[in-house]
Amino acid sequence: MPQLDEPEEGQKPQLPQDAVLSRMLGIRTILVSGEIDKDVAERAISQALILDAANHDPIRVLITSQGGHVDSGYAIHDVLRYIESPVVTVGAGWVASIAVPILLSAEKKNRYSLPNTRYLLHQPSGGAGGQASDIRIAAEEILKLRARLNQLIADATGTKLDKVASDSDRNFWMSAEEALSYGLVSKIIKSQTEIA
């Protein structure tokens, strides 16, 4: 049994981070939390590959994120599609921006939402500076990225591409119920026992 870290006065004891990770892997659950960056991607991808190598039982991915670095989010999405284990995704709190494609890495029947989760679609943004030609190249890349994201969302939800493009032109927030209607998730759940 892992030892608890010594708490400071007035605080509850906590498990060391390695013990938490070990327990999460033991229940075949990956937490994608906070801003998506290379470190979050590396951790989630490593855990997915370890769990997939152990056996091909379902892997649950709990997502609560405001989004972040697009390529890091795509890396998580692609690896969750790449592994052989079935992936079950659950939105919790908020699933925004590049966190949405991570949610969509599971088949539609395996995408769930907790009741109070909010979802955000919007177009990618980026700051570009330097020479005019560099700014133009950056703008072209953002447009390509936007088209790719919109197509992914349309394909995964069954929503028409022109609607996704229109909706994501500005911040487009959805409640869990609206995300269900949009096709982001297949079911709103209150308990783990409701996952098929």
Catalytic one of 105, 113, 122, 168: 122
Catalytic one of 97, 105, 113, 168: 97
- Contacts of residue 152, defined as CB under 8 A and 6 or more positions apart, other chains included, come to 101, 104
* Residue 77: active-site member: no
Find the angle CA(34)-CA(40)-CA(43) to the nearest 5 degrees: 135
- 63, 91 Cβ separation under 8 angstroms: yes
* Residue 122: active-site member: yes
Residues labelled catalytic? 97, 122
